[in-house]
A and B are shown apart, each in its own frame.
Chain A
Amino acid sequence: MNLTRSEEAALAGEEGEVMQIAYRILVATGEATDAERLIPIQWAHLSGVNYNTIGAAGREFLADLSSRGARVRVRTTLNPMGYDVDGADRHGLADEFVSGQESIADSYRIMGVAPSFSCIPYEIFGMPEAGSQVAFAESNAAIYANSIAGARTNKESAFSALASALTGKSPYSALRRDAEEASATRVRMKMQDPDELTYGMLGYFAGKAAGTESQVDISGIKASDMDMRQCKAVCGGMGTSGTCAKFRMVGADHDNDDDVRGSKPENVDFDRDAVRQVRDELDTAENGDIITLGSPQLGLWEMGDLVERLRGRSFKKRCLVFCPRAAKEQASAPQYRYVQALEAAGCEVMADCCTCLSPLVESDSIDAVTTNSIKGAFYMNKASGVGVELKTLLQILEDETH
């Protein structure tokens, strides 16, 4: 990769240790993506926030960076942390976890990062115009940016997004350059009238089918067929199963051939067998002890939609609803009162955190969880040691409310 003279100087340590680390990260990222130079980005979204995932070493790394003067140079937002700040006491979390989490949040605040604690920055902040260069580390957000919003990002690592925040730059990788290159694999959507659970499975399946490629095509549906809940389900599912950073919905016609490279993509069908495969892997329990809604977190529209569907019924068991603080505040406002309605229906509305990797959903207190989230199911099964019962939102409302 070719660096400018000032970038070389920063890499050599002439702008201090923080910039040297940042440029080391950018050089490794650039070499890994065959980029030839760095370009400006306008927004970074960071992962590496939850104390459950980055631990004591991560906490110390961030404290060290912030005390050495690390400051972000572009707008920077933050992934969810481990719990709702307002509820730290009643969650009964260990002191070590709470103090570790507080230290991480402090370090990011000192660096100038907005404390959004959200995995849906695209929904709560809105996306810049198509073609904008961003650096999103949260996988569902990176896939949404590339596939739905027409922005460009790598599927950043926690460190590459942090380095982009500190420098305002990212390597000019293939994902940032080539807007409309066809994919090596095309997933043919063969399921009729898909609900959000099927869309989540489609994303999960397509992410696997893409293998080591960074993008995949999907035929049989159009992006405009999906509502926000379904969009987020596809992006969340795809983000967990592979390294794929982008999907292109190439239209309803499975045989539509717009391959600009002249080579035919390999076709893989998403059909009943594929659904069964995903279920075999992720639908691992019979009856959830609790229900979780949100991974990705719910935005204002989904909370309002849930209130409407509940029609005054309430949940028979504990139901955790995860959302960003900004959405919770908006949804509490007098003209909406969604949070109040959800609480009246027995929901616990949690800001700042999410189903995935939260100490609120762990195996020592919970055996199984009912959810409509493929992303949530993946992390609960693989990381939290919790069984998962997969159901659509409509099915959950039918079975679990009265």
Chain B
Amino acid sequence: MASVAASVAAAGPKVLVAGKAAGTVLRSQMPINFLGTVDSQTGVINDPHHDLHGKSIRDVILVFPSGAGSSVGAYTIYAIKSGSVAPRAMICQRPDLTVATGCAVAGIPLIIVDKNQSVESDSILKSLQTGAQAAVDTSMPRGSIITIRGDCSSHDAAKA
């Protein structure tokens, strides 16, 4: 297992579902249970206990720790894509099968960036704050899969 971890660390961001997208980052500190937390008609997070409560995940680059909860949440990801209210790409810190397979069926690019993987991954995660402009292109070399055009207030605030 150690050798696998080492090779992943050397490689940086890991692609679970390939694709290309660009948009504004929406960042959550909490796992997302797509079944029951996301309104599949509107793409709005409707769980009052969630830090994205009331926010729409439509057309954003959605950054969150991982999926959680029911395995059927994969269908919700497909449903929000069918209804044109899905994120353009998702970036998680840990892989889980619900989000991975939902994105695979929906054709939503999905990248794993674990801050413990490398200094570079940690730095990418720190830059992926709500409001930042980010682009994902899985055909690029691994170090350039995610590019961030900073200048968001929260990121600047974090640096300052």
A-to-B contact residues, CB < 8 Å: 21, 24-25, 27-29, 31-34, 47-48, 50, 53-58, 60-61, 137-139, 154-161, 163, 174, 212, 242-243, 382-383
Q: Which of B21-29, B55-63, B73-81, B148-156 contacts A (4 or more CB under 8 A)?
A: B73-81
B90 to chain A, nearest CB (A): 12
13 additional A-B residue pairs with CB within 8 Å, beyond A48-B75, A53-B75? A25-B105, A31-B14, A32-B16, A32-B95, A54-B72, A61-B75, A61-B78, A137-B71, A157-B100, A159-B101, A159-B104, A161-B71, A163-B101
In this assembly, does B40 line the interface, its C-beta being within 8 Å of a C-beta of chain A? yes
Within 8 A of A (CB), among B65-91: 66, 68, 70-75, 78-79, 82-83
Give bound CA distance, A154 to B68, whole Å: 15
State the Cβ distance, B80 to closest chain A Cβ, in Å.
8
Chain B contact-residue range equals: 35 or more
A181 CB, min distance to chain B CBs, angstroms: 9
Instruction: Check if B143 is an interface residue, CB within 8 A of chain A.
Output: no
Q: Given A32-B95, A47-B71, A137-B71, does the pair A55, B101 have CB atoms closer than 8 Å? A: no
**Inter-subunit contact A243/B1 (CB<8 Å):** no
Q: How far is the CA of A60 from the CA of B105 in the complex (A)?
A: 13
When distances are taken between beta carbons in the complex, the residues of chain A under 8 Å from B4 are 34
| Given A31-B95, A53-B35, A160-B101: A58 and B78 interface contact (C-beta under 8 Å) | yes
Q: Is the CB of B105 within 8 A of A54?
A: no
Which residues of chain A come closer than 8 Å to B79, judged between CB atoms? Answer: 54-58
Q: Does B15 contact A (CB under 8 A)?
A: yes
What is the 8 Å Cβ interface bit string for chain B, positions 85-111, against chain A (1 contact, 0 not)? Answer: 000000000111110111111000010
CB pair A157 B1 closer than 8 Å: no
Q: Given contacts A28-B104, A32-B96, A157-B98, are A55 and B40 in contact (CB under 8 A)?
A: yes
Residue of B71, B104, B105, B112 with most chain A CB atoms under a 10 A cut-off: B71
Contact A29 B100 (CB under 8 A): yes
Binding site for A on B (CB under 8 A): 1, 4, 8, 14-17, 35-36, 40, 66, 68, 70-75, 78-79, 82-83, 94-98, 100-105, 110, 112
Residue of B whose beta carbon sits closest to that of A139: B71
25 A-B pairs in the complex with CB atoms less than 8 angstroms apart:
A24-B104, A25-B101, A25-B104, A28-B17, A29-B97, A29-B104, A32-B100, A32-B112, A33-B95, A33-B97, A34-B8, A48-B71, A48-B74, A53-B72, A54-B79, A57-B40, A57-B78, A58-B75, A61-B78, A139-B70, A157-B100, A158-B74, A159-B102, A212-B94, A242-B68
Residues of B within 8 A of A212 (CB): 66, 94
Check if A28 sits within 8 Å of B96, measured CB to CB.
Answer: no
Once the chains are docked, how many angstroms separate the CA of A60 from the CA of B66?
27
Decide if B16 touches A31 in the complex (CB within 8 Å).
yes
B105 CB contacts on chain A under 8 angstroms: 21, 24-25, 61, 159
Contacts of A155 in B (CB 8 A): 71, 97
Cβ B96 vs Cβ A382 within 8 A: no
Docked Cα-Cα span, A306 to B27, in Å, equals 50
